[in-house]
Amino acid sequence: MTHNSFISNMPKIDLHCHLDGSFSPEFIRKALKLPDIDDQLITKLKAPADCSSLTQYLTCFDLPISAIQTKENIINGVLDVLSQASSENVKYMEIRFAPTCSVNENLSLTDIYEAAIAGTKLGLEKYGIYSNIILCAMRHHQPDTNLKVLESMADYVGHGICGLDIAGDESQFPNQLFQELFSKAKDMGIPFTIHSGECGSTENVKLACQYGAKRIGHGIALIHDINLMQDIRSAGIGLELCPTSNFQTRAWSDMSTYPLRDFLDYGLLGTINTDNRTVSNTNMTTELTLAKSKLNIREEDLLTIYKNSVEISFADDNIKHKLLTDGNSILLPT
């Protein structure tokens, strides 16, 4: 896809980016001490063009997770993703991952949080990009395991960690199983986003709203329920759309009816994000170019989408203010 220079140069925000789905092959090679980058490695890191489901898509995460089992690799992994993003003029991003997948005898949950935060600080120093970490509970993990993440993250929220999410197979482990987790998060004042409506379930989106989610990951099933759309608009809940990923996982198949256009027209806080840069072979420039060329997103919508991203981000007010100033450069050419 050819990128127009306006999109390449404009400031961008990526709020939905999985760390383990976004490593460069070079980072994986170094972290796992592999001799070189061969076709077999690339095949393991990228979802096939004919990927049949979210379940198949999720198999691409095994190798990357094995690459983030030390403090040093977690720091370098965060830096690797921030380096890619800064080259696309991303000004702010929220990187998410499941810390429990990196716990081992030498690495505790809090070691992992501190390493990820160290990566974000280095990213600001080296690349001038602001970032925060979202911690993911996992749908297939035991309730106690997920609660441990929530309880141990409290002291880090506002200091490099900005919120909670739940990731994994939404069709097999629906939101109704996680009421306790999110009710506790709400009581603790920890902001959260919930992957919901990626596999066609409006019920999951409804539950995410009831639990108090500030944002919905994907949420595209929402288009089938106008009453719910109204509720989400009144509550000011943000939508993190990830178009390329949604087509790959078969969450949506027809580009001409992709619901972002309708969400924006309805006044919902829709945003565009990458989900998994490597697994989906994408980046912010590619996503915005796709949106403009195929998903009925006009150039004048790009500023709205950027402002929506600032508004729904979990960044503090100082960073939000700075991002809004950066966004003034998205003034349309006359």
Closest residue to Zn ion using C-beta atoms = 275
| Helix (H) / strand (E) containing 12 | strand 12-18
Question: In whole angstroms, what is the distance from residue 238 CA to residue 193 CA?
Answer: 9
Nearest to 207 by CA among 159, 170, 244: 170
Residue with tokens 């095994």: 62
- Within positions 202 to 221, which residues make up the interface with Zn ion, using CB under 5 A? none
**Catalytic, out of 198, 203, 299, 300:** 198
Catalytic status, residue 125? no
Listed in order, strand segments (DSSP E) in 232-328 are: 238-241, 269-272
139 or 206: CB nearest Zn ion = 139
Q: Which is nearer to Zn ion, 162 or 330 (CB)?
A: 162
In the Cβ-directed half-sphere of 280, how many Cα atoms lie within 13 Å?
Answer: 26
**217 versus 327: smaller Cβ distance to Zn ion:** 217
Could you tell me the smallest distance in angstroms from the CB atom of residue 72 to Zn ion?
A: 26
**What DSSP character marks residue 174?**
-
Q: CA quadruple 229, 320, 288, 277: dihedral positive or negative?
A: negative
Q: How far is the CB of 293 from Zn ion (least distance, A)?
A: 23
Q: Nearest approach, Cβ of 165 to Zn ion (angstroms)? A: 8
Of 169 and 275, the one with the shorter C-beta distance to Zn ion is 275
Closer to Zn ion at the Cβ: 14 or 326? 14
Min. distance of Cβ 242 from Zn ion in angstroms?
A: 6
Site string for Zn ion, 248-277 (x = CB under 5 A): ---------------------------x--
Q: How far is the CB of 167 from Zn ion (least distance, A)?
A: 6
Which structure tokens are listed for 272?
Answer: 């565009």
Residue 165, judged by CB atoms within 10 A of its CB (0-12, 13-18, 19+), counts as buried
Judged by CB under 5 A, how many residues of this single chain contact Zn ion?
A: 1
The answer to whether the CB of 197 falls within 8 A of the CB of 225 is: no
Instruction: For Zn ion, give the closer residue by CB, 14 or 275.
Output: 275
Cα gap 87→273, rounded to integer Å: 16
Are 134 and 240 spatial neighbours (Cβ–Cβ below 8 Å)? no
Pick from 292, 218, 278, 247: nearest CA to 84: 278
Residue 178: CB minimum distance to Zn ion, A:
16
Q: What is the DSSP letter of 275?
A: B
- The site for Zn ion (CB under 5 A) is made up of 275
User: Which amino acids are annotated catalytic?
Assistant: 198
